[in-house]
Amino acid sequence: MTTRNHLTTAQIDHYRSGLASAEQAAQIEMHLKDCPQCQHDLQFGRRVSALLAPLPQLAARMPRRHARAVRWPRVFAAGMATASLALAVFISVPHFSPSGGYPNNLSPQVADAVQNIEFYQWLSNHPQMLQQGLQNGNPA
């Protein structure tokens, strides 16, 4: 390792944590003697580790948050709001005609899609058939 080839952050952290083998540690130490940039990176890693060291102890001292108890009035109010919304939607939806159960103001394309829904479902599960039809000049 020369000063032209700097150590990676992973190599420095591996060395700093004591996980490097004796041979790797010797090579890294030789490189660190000649490379001020890698020495700076090593010192920076040590400072960051020292600053982060107290975090687990601080986290252990933080008060635990307890689960909130269920407040039945809020649950009841949410249920009533949902039921009211469902009732409003049911009342405001236009009524369907008795013949076929479809609204009277459907466009011909929508009416065709509704009448042939099984075909379109089958076609969505078999897209290769649509591609073959388009290649053969059949748009349908």
Question: Tens digits of per-residue pLDDT, 91-116?
Answer: 877 655 555 555 567 778 877 777 88
Residue 131 lies in a domain: yes
**pLDDT band of 4, cuts 50, 70, 90:** low
The tally of domains found in the chain comes to 2
Residue 39 lies in a domain: yes
Quote the domain boundaries for residue 52: 9-60
Residue 97 lies in a domain: no
Q: How many CA atoms lie within 13 A of 36 on its CB side?
A: 0
Output the pLDDT for position 2.
Answer: 42
Query: Which pTM value belongs to this model?
Result: 0.40
User: In terms of DSSP H, where are the helices of the chain?
Assistant: 9-16, 22-34, 36-52, 55-61, 72-92, 108-115, 117-125, 127-135
Residue 77 lies in a domain: no
Average pLDDT over residues 28-43: 90
Cα 140 to Cα 132: distance, rounded to the nearest angstrom: 11
Average pLDDT over residues 26-32: 90
Helix, strand, or coil (residue 19): coil
Output the pLDDT for position 88.
Answer: 84
Q: What DSSP character marks residue 5? A: S
Considering the chain, what is the average pLDDT of its residues?
79
With beta carbons less than 8 A apart as the criterion, state whether 30 and 1 touch.
yes
Per-residue pLDDT of 61-84, as tens digits, reads 877 776 667 678 888 888 899 999
Residue 15 lies in a domain: yes
Residue 96 lies in a domain: no
Residue 69 lies in a domain: no
Residue 47 lies in a domain: yes
